[in-house]
Chains A and B, each alone.
Chain A
Amino acid sequence: MNLRYMLKELYYQRRRTLMSILGLSIGIALLIILNSLSSAYRQAAQVPLKEIGADITVQRSGDVPKDLAGAVFPCSAVTIRKEEVEKIRKLPGVRGIGTGLLLWVFDPNRAWIVLGIEKDNSIGPSLLRSSVTEGRFLEDGKPEALVEQAYARQFGIKLNDTISVADDKFPVVGIIDASRAAKIAIANIYLPIKEAQNLAISSKELQSVSPYAPGDVNLLFIKADQEKITGLASEMKTILGNKATVATPDSFLKLLGSLFALSDKFTLAASLIAIIVAVLIAFKTMAGNIAERAREIGVLKAVGWTNRNVVSQLMSESVIQCFMAGILGLLIALVASFGLSFMKVNIPIPWEMSPNPHFLPGGGDQIFKTLRLPVHVPWNLAFFAILLSIIIGGVTGGLLGRHISKIKPSEVLRHE
Chain B
Amino acid sequence: MKYGDLEVVKGVSLAVNEGEFVCLVGKSGCGKTTLLSLLSGLEKPTKGRVNLDGREITTSSEDELALFRRDNVGFIFQSFNLIPTLSAWENVALPLFPIKMTSEERRRRATELLGKMELGHRIEHLPSALSGGEKQRVAIARALINNPKIIFADEPTGNLDSSTGEAIMGILNKLHKEEGVAILMVTHEDELAKTANRLIRMKDGEIMS
Binding site for B on A (CB under 8 A): 2, 4-5, 8-9, 11-12, 295-296, 298-309, 408-410, 413-416
Once A and B bind, how many residue pairs between them come within 8 Å at the CB atom?
A: 82
* Residues in chain A near residue B77, CB distance under 8 A: 413, 415
A2 touches B97 (CB 8 A): yes
Given contacts A410-B37, A410-B43, A5 and B69 within 8 Å (CB-CB): no
B85 closest partner in A (C-beta): A12
Contact with A along B77-99 (1 / 0, CB 8 A): 11101011110001000110110
Answer whether residue B191 sits at the interface, using C-beta atoms and an 8 A cutoff: no
* Residues in chain A near residue B78, CB distance under 8 A: 415
A304 touches B71 (CB 8 A): yes
User: Could you say which of A299, A305, A408 contacts B98, with CB atoms under 8 Å apart?
Assistant: A305
Contact with A along B118-142 (1 / 0, CB 8 A): 0000000000000000000000001
A–B Cβ pairs within 8 angstroms, 23 of them: A5-B83, A8-B90, A295-B81, A296-B83, A298-B81, A299-B81, A301-B66, A303-B95, A304-B70, A304-B98, A305-B66, A305-B95, A306-B66, A306-B67, A408-B43, A409-B42, A410-B37, A410-B42, A413-B77, A413-B79, A415-B77, A415-B154, A415-B155
Answer whether residue B103 sits at the interface, using C-beta atoms and an 8 A cutoff: yes
Distance in Å: Cβ of A193 to nearest Cβ of chain B: 78
A8 closest partner in B (C-beta): B85
User: Could you say which of B34, B90, B158, B159 contacts A5, with CB atoms under 8 Å apart?
Assistant: B90
Instruction: Say what secondary structure dominates the interface of chain A.
Output: helix
A303 touches B142 (CB 8 A): yes
* Residues in chain A near residue B79, CB distance under 8 A: 413, 415-416
User: Could you say which of B34, B69, B97, B98 contacts A302, with CB atoms under 8 Å apart?
Assistant: B69
* Residues in chain A near residue B94, CB distance under 8 A: 299-300, 303
Binding site for A on B (CB under 8 A): 33-34, 37, 42-43, 62-63, 66-67, 69-71, 73, 75, 77-79, 81, 83-86, 90, 94-95, 97-98, 103, 142, 146, 154-155, 158-159
In the complex, given contacts A298-B81, A303-B95, A305-B70, what are 4 additional A-B residue pairs having Cβ atoms less than 8 angstroms apart? A2-B98, A301-B62, A304-B146, A307-B66
Give CA–CA (A307, B64) in the complex, Å.
Answer: 10
* Residues in chain A near residue B66, CB distance under 8 A: 301, 304-307, 309
* Residues in chain A near residue B86, CB distance under 8 A: 5, 8
B68 closest partner in A (C-beta): A304
A2 closest partner in B (C-beta): B97
B99 closest partner in A (C-beta): A304
A413 touches B42 (CB 8 A): yes
* Residues in chain A near residue B90, CB distance under 8 A: 4-5, 8
B98 touches A413 (CB 8 A): no
Distance in Å: Cβ of A106 to nearest Cβ of chain B: 87
A302 touches B75 (CB 8 A): yes
B69 touches A304 (CB 8 A): yes
Residue in B33, B34, B75, B97 with the greatest tally of chain A CB atoms within 10 Å: B97
* Residues in chain B near residue A12, CB distance under 8 A: 84-85
B146 touches A413 (CB 8 A): no
Distance in Å: Cβ of A133 to nearest Cβ of chain B: 71
* Residues in chain A near residue B142, CB distance under 8 A: 303
* Residues in chain B near residue A4, CB distance under 8 A: 90, 103
A304 touches B67 (CB 8 A): yes
Distance in Å: Cβ of A339 to nearest Cβ of chain B: 39
A408 touches B70 (CB 8 A): no
Give CA–CA (A128, B85) in the complex, Å.
Answer: 70
* Residues in chain A near residue B84, CB distance under 8 A: 12
A302 closest partner in B (C-beta): B75
B71 touches A299 (CB 8 A): no
* Residues in chain A near residue B75, CB distance under 8 A: 302-303
